[in-house]
């Protein structure tokens, strides 16, 4: 009699689950080695560098290669040895650095830099959209680059870390500069910014209520000054009060109230975002004429045209001038004045992104998963993805989300 044995079940859990099974191995992400080029900033007003030596060391330890143009860190008081000891290759040939797969810059690459690119590269830099030219955009497109505006990078809290960190530096720096300009040393009135017992505190007027204004107010309040803030948004003023944790003088823009306040002000800080439509000069020249002799104006909105009519676009080398007996200071790149602090802040944002890109297998898989950094892309594989730039220059643009899905 022939014995009939049952066929093995397709379900391995039947019969006690004792049948041998194939081992299922987890599929890990493929690590991609990045070659990162850091060219020296050629603009005289730019002293920052995009990565510190410590950040370079982290990237090298993660298997990446960093090519640094000689003296690229000089403005932030880092020398070539600082970088070479952390694993960077120091190169005196700018074109060789610009041929790296990924280019990190603080200021946007100029036309000469774009001409030296090998093509099909990734560019991370600030952009200054309001000042960019069609030649610049078409140059990146012709080179089939993928370009990121670092100021448009969003974090997991939907904030803009580069803007916030640079704004904080600008706000604090503005108060430090104002304190110096009020002193005898620079020809000021010879008064102390702040206040001590028995002496009326210095009056600081801030135009705007965003991040720059918040940190300027914090610094001024810490010194004991009397702070008054004007803005065209009640919500911004309310948020500022809450963030500071104390009551300060605030007001919506009323020309008569503002004019009266300016007459007693010792320091005026212009800290408005002027990209939105509306009047550009919230403080007119006539208002400045009525200010106290030796008072100080610092216009931090000058990179957008300025919010004070007497402001002039100056460089750090020629930043101070006097109009109507009022000391003025207006430069577009105040964080560069404290280049080391600003460089560390930038590096703290950019280096973790690059480590994650390498661990993700490159920029394409990284962008599919990271909406915040994807938000900063304005050219993708040579295709313009910023609608505002497209409308301005008459260049067709594509939605970045659709391009990411297609590539």
Residue 21 counted as domain residue: no
- pLDDT value of residue 305: 81
Residues 250 and 378 in one domain: no
Residues 319 and 228 in one domain: yes
Residues 234 and 174 in one domain: yes
Distance from C-alpha of 276 to C-alpha of 269, rounded to nearest angstrom = 19
Cβ-count burial of 349 within 10 angstroms (0-12 exposed, 13-18 middle, 19+ buried)? Answer: middle
Residues 314 and 270 in one domain: yes
pLDDT over threshold 50, residue 339: yes
Residues 72 and 115 in one domain: yes
Q: Which residues contact 196 (CB under 8 A, 6 or more apart)?
A: 224
pLDDT class of 341 with cuts at 50, 70, 90 = very high
Task: Pick the catalytic residue from 31, 128, 236, 324.
Answer: 128
For 211-275, strand residue ranges (E) read 226-231, 249-252, 267-270
Distance from C-alpha of 191 to C-alpha of 212, rounded to nearest angstrom = 24
pLDDT class of 236 with cuts at 50, 70, 90 = very high
Phi, psi values for residue 30, rounded to 5°:
-80, 120
The β-bridge partners of 227 are 204
- 3-state DSSP call for residue 398? coil
209: Cα within 13 Å, side-chain hemisphere:
24
Residues 86 and 131 in one domain: yes
Residues 41 and 96 in one domain: yes
pLDDT over threshold 80, residue 103: yes
| Pick from 6-15, 57-66, 263-272, 276-285: least confident | 6-15
Residue 273 counted as domain residue: yes
What does 368-396 look like in DSSP terms, one character per residue? HH-HHHHTTEEEETTEE--HHHHHHHT--
* H helix intervals, 90-133: 94-98, 111-116
Residue 27 counted as domain residue: no
Q: Mean pLDDT, to the nearest integer, of 192-219? A: 94
Residue 24 counted as domain residue: no
Share of the chain above pLDDT 70, in %: 91
pLDDT over threshold 70, residue 282: yes
CA dihedral over 307, 308, 313, 319, signed as positive or negative:
negative
Domain count for the chain: 2
Residues 108 and 139 in one domain: yes
Instruction: Note the pLDDT tens digit of each residue in 370-390.
Output: 999 999 999 999 999 999 899
Which CATH number do you get for residue 61? 3.40.50.720
Distance from C-alpha of 95 to C-alpha of 37, rounded to nearest angstrom = 10
Annotated catalytic, 128? yes
Residues 392 and 302 in one domain: no
Q: Mean pLDDT, to the nearest integer, of 258-287? A: 86
Residue 26 counted as domain residue: no
Residue 106 near residue 46, CB atoms below 8 Å: yes
- pLDDT value of residue 20: 40
Residue 89 lies in domain: 35-152+338-406
Residues 346 and 326 in one domain: no
Instruction: Note the pLDDT tens digit of each residue in 141-189.
Output: 999 999 999 999 999 888 999 999 999 999 999 999 999 999 998 888 8
pLDDT class of 29 with cuts at 50, 70, 90 = low
pLDDT class of 222 with cuts at 50, 70, 90 = very high
Residue 241 counted as domain residue: yes
Residue 181 counted as domain residue: yes
- pLDDT value of residue 13: 36
Average pLDDT across the chain, whole number: 90
Q: Mean pLDDT, to the nearest integer, of 224-247? A: 94
Q: Mean pLDDT, to the nearest integer, of 256-271? A: 96
Residues 302 and 198 in one domain: yes
Residues 304 and 367 in one domain: no
């Amino acid at each position: 009699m022939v014995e009939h044995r049952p066929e093995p079940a397709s379900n391995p859990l039947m019969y006690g689950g004792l049948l041998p099974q194939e081992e299922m191995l987890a599929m890990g992400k493929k690590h991609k080695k990045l070659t990162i080029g850091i060219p020296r900033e050629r603009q005289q007003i730019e002293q920052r560098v995009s990565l510190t030596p410590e950040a370079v060391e982290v990237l090298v330890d993660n298997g990446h290669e960093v090519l640094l143009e000689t003296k690229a860190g000089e403005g932030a008081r880092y020398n070539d040895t600082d970088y070479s000891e952390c694993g960077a290759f120091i190169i005196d040939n700018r074109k060789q650095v610009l041929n790296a797969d990924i280019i990190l810059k603080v200021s946007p690459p100029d036309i000469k830099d774009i001409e030296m690119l090998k093509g099909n590269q990734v560019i991370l830099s600030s952009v200054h959209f309001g000042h960019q030219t069609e030649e610049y955009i078409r140059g990146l497109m012709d080179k089939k680059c993928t370009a990121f505006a670092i100021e448009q990078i969003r974090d997991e809290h939907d904030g803009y870390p580069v803007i916030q960190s640079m704004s904080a530096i600008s706000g604090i720096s503005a108060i430090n500069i104002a304190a110096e300009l009020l002193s005898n040393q620079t020809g000021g009135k010879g008064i102390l910014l702040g206040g001590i017992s028995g002496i009326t505190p210095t009056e600081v007027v801030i135009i705007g209520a965003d991040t720059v204004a918040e940190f300027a107010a914090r610094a001024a309040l810490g010194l004991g000054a009397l702070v008054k803030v004007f803005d065209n948004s009640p919500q911004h003023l309310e948020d500022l009060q809450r963030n500071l944790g104390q009551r300060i003088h605030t007001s919506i823009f009323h020309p008569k109230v503002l004019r009266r306040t300016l007459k007693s002000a010792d320091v005026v800080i212009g800290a408005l975002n002027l990209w939105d439509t509306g009047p550009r000069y919230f403080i007119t020249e006539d208002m400045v004429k009525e200010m106290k002799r030796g008072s100080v104006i610092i216009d931090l909105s000058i990179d957008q045209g300025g919010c004070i009519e007497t402001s002039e676009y100056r460089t750090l080398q020629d930043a101070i001038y006097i109009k109507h007996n009022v000391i003025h200071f207006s430069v577009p790149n105040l964080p560069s004045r404290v280049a080391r602090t600003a460089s560390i802040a930038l590096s703290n944002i950019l280096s973790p992104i690059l480590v994650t890109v390498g661990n993700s297998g490159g920029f394409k898989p990284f962008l599919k998963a990271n909406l915040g950094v994807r938000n900063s892309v304005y050219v993708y594989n040579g295709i313009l993805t910023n609608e505002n730039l497209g409308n301005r220059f008459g260049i067709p643009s594509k939605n970045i989300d659709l391009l990411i899905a297609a590539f």
